[in-house]
Structure 1
Amino acid sequence: MAVTSDFGIRASVRNTKASDLTTTADALDFVRGVHLESGTGAGKADRVFHDQRTLAASATETLDLAGVLTDVYGAAITFARVKFIAISAASGNTNNVIVGANASNDWVGLLNAAGTITLRPGASFAAMSGSADATGMAVTAGTGDLIKVANSAGSTSVTYDVVIVGVSA
């Protein structure tokens, strides 16, 4: 299996202010991107997980980055390092999606052990390693490989999308 990937962040903002005879404009174009070829070193990735998932009211689940998730072909995936992660809450959700702070074996490659990210309906979050970064966000099988995802309330289910790109070694 060969994996090539491109991901990025872009913010394009135009801020204007009218005065008596002119309009002043501040144009911001903030772009960061990464291209990864197939493999396990710097600028490379060889594992991909993506899914759309639904949690019942007040439910939680744990995404195990070391040997439990399966790829699109049904093969178990073990990440040694994560190079990209994105989680997006569906805009039709009523409740929030809470990511992080697993009770044990918490993956701290992105957040510290107690850290969480709250995704309101329609919100997304992404983090990526630079293409020159061989380490990425480390995964430690058995002690630091679990991502908790929770539905913030008991009223309705929530749906979220998750994409994780990384390496096996």
Structure 2
Amino acid sequence: MSLETVIVASLKAIETSNLDLAQGRAPIELEVRHAFGSGSGANQASNAFSDSRTLAASGSENIDLAGALTTIFGVVLNFASVKAILIRARATNVNNVAVGPAASNGFLGPFADASDRVVIKPGGVFLVTAPAAGWPVTAGTGDLLTVTNLGAGSAVDYDIVIIG
């Protein structure tokens, strides 16, 4: 099996200001593109996990990156490293979604320490990449990514893609 991946993040904005005799405009454009060939080296990836998930009110789950996830073809995944994580909180959510290392055996990856969390508001997206070496996954001691519903009133839905 092979995997070809392209990640594109693009932002375009135009700042304007009405002056006395003219209008000032300042366009802002930034596009980042990462293309991964199939394999395990720099700028390569061989594993992909994707899913749409639901967390109960105040619920959380650990995403085990070493031996518990499967591909859409039923192949068990053992990430040696993670090259990209994309999480989208559905716009219909009422509560925020948080992501970070698990309290025990946490995957630190892009996080500075085990207590770090990124809070994703309804409709928000968290995307982080490490195209060269990626972030190492250590089975049994550094392989759990926790996703948490930060509200008690209702469930949340989110989409997740992990490339490694």
The residue number in structure 2 matching 1:117 is 118
Q: Percent identity?
A: 39
* SS of aligned partner of 1:30: strand
CA deviations on 1:2-32 (whole Å, 9 max, x unpaired) are: 1001002211110011112211111111111
* Greater than 4 Å deviation, 4+ residue runs: none
- Counterpart of 1:136 (choices 121, 134, 152) is 134
Shift of 1:154: 1.7
Give yes or no for the alignment of 1:158 onto 2:159. Answer: no
Judging changes above 3 Å, is the alpha-carbon distance between structure 1 residues 81 and 57 closer, same or farther for their aligned structure 2 residues? same
Distance 1:162 1:68 in 2: 15
1:8-157 matched pairs, under 5 angstroms: 8-111=8-111, 112-130=113-131, 133=132, 135-157=133-155
TM-score by length of 2: 0.96
Judging changes above 3 Å, is the alpha-carbon distance between structure 1 residues 2 and 101 closer, same or farther for their aligned structure 2 residues? closer
Shift of 1:101: 4.0
Distance 2:46 2:136 in 1: 15
Distance 1:36 1:165 in 2: 10
Distance 2:45 2:101 in 1: 26
Shift of 1:152: 0.9
TM-score by length of 1: 0.93
RMSD between superposed Cα atoms in Å: 0.9
Which consecutive residues of structure 2, in runs of 5 or more, have no partner in the other structure? Answer: none
26-35 or 94-103, which moves further after superposition?
94-103
Aligned residues: 163
Which consecutive residues of structure 1, in runs of 5 or more, have no partner in the other structure? Answer: none
